[in-house]
Amino acid sequence: MLSKNPATLLLSNGKIFKGFSFGKKGYTIGEVCFNTGMTGYQEILTDPSYSGQLITMTYPHIGSYGINSEDVESNKIQASGLIIRDGDVLPSNYRSNNSLGNYLKENNIIAIQGLDTRAIVRLLTKEGAMNGIISSNNMDIKKMQLLLQQHPSMEGKDLAKVVTCKKSYYLNRGEYKRKVVVIDYGVKSNILNLLTKQKLELIVLPANSTTNQIMKYNPDGIFLSNGPGDPAAVTYAIESVKELLRLRIPIFGICLGHQILALALGAKTFKLKFGHRGCNHPVKNNKLGNIEITSQNHGFAVDSKIIPKNVEVTHYSLNDNTIEGISCTDKPAFSVQYHPESSPGPHDSRYLFEKFMKLIDTFKAENIYAKTK
């Protein structure tokens, strides 16, 4: 049953879509993107990597299994808005304790439903990602156009500083011998869950932490998290990772962390036409020769034309041949563009966390040997 309150989506190319309000009334602006997942809308909405974006869900029925207290990737909705075909007001699932509509209102998120999301996706794949504005308060189109024109592009935008933690915190403090510093560019909860299950003590630090601030914890490894925005704009993180690489400490990066590692190694990044967002993206593992079905969410990628000699491409996308993973040949550092923590999505790539553990164990053993000499 659709809300009777009208709402409008205006894209920066002038295209107008009329629908109905779903969530809080008002207006919101962001980069319009699309996700092809049939499920996982709660994880998607709360993923910090979606900061500054209006998410279009390609599956027509969103909200059918409601909202629960478990499937969250952060403590709030991170996306700027939601665009859907139909929102189910009567969710049915034994874990559900809220409806999607109420959840959006509680988080002050503006959404629109009743749109032809297929037409939006076709437009974005043809013309590329663009900014959009959703209004459910009868705003004049000319005013919407003016606000939209004033909104900056995602290129050049550092959003890691917006979503990162404000101060450091521990997980599994004092429980295990292996210690990893997590640089929070917008880290997802399930990444932290999987790292803690590897029997690691975690110290989570803000995105702008310096090398000295990181190394004072005497870590056995560094994890570079996912996050939103343009990786090239996060200059402080790139410089910090350059310094960490010289220390030859094990480094594992995911998503934005992958791009920051690549930039620190001398590679370049570029903005994809419309990004990769979904739960079923095929990736080729060059090392093993097998195909992994992966969960993805990124609008930028590492440029395959500018790869340093000490960087090996380990994974690539079978959809568009873009780089999905790299490894440094002379330092214990590797990364992937996609999300092996699979929340939501398949579990094909969780072996990467075990690879990180092996690098840490080797690093610790070498350090112990060096101290006994």
Catalytic residues: 255, 339, 341
Alpha-carbon gap, residue 99 to 200, rounded angstroms: 36
Q: At what angle do helices 256-264 and 235-246 cross, to 10 degrees?
A: 60
Tokens of 280: 């079923």
Please state whether the peptide bond connecting residue 344 to the residue before it is cis, i.e. omega within 30 degrees of 0.
Answer: yes
* Ramachandran sector of residue 306 (left: φ over 0; alpha: ψ -120 to 50; beta: rest): beta
User: Based on C-alpha coordinates, what's the Rg of the chain?
Assistant: 21
Of 325, 168, 184, 334, nearest to 250 (Cα)?
334
Report helix, strand or coil for 239. helix
Of 317, 321, 358, 333, nearest to 260 (Cα)?
333
Alpha-carbon gap, residue 253 to 327, rounded angstroms: 10
Single-letter amino acid code for the residue at 112: I
Please give the full DSSP string across 46-102, using - where no structure is assigned. T-GGGBTEEEEESSSEESTT-B-SSS-SSSS--BSEEE-SEE-SS---TT--B-HHH
Residue 226 to residues 42, 71, 229: CA-CA distances in angstroms? 17, 18, 10
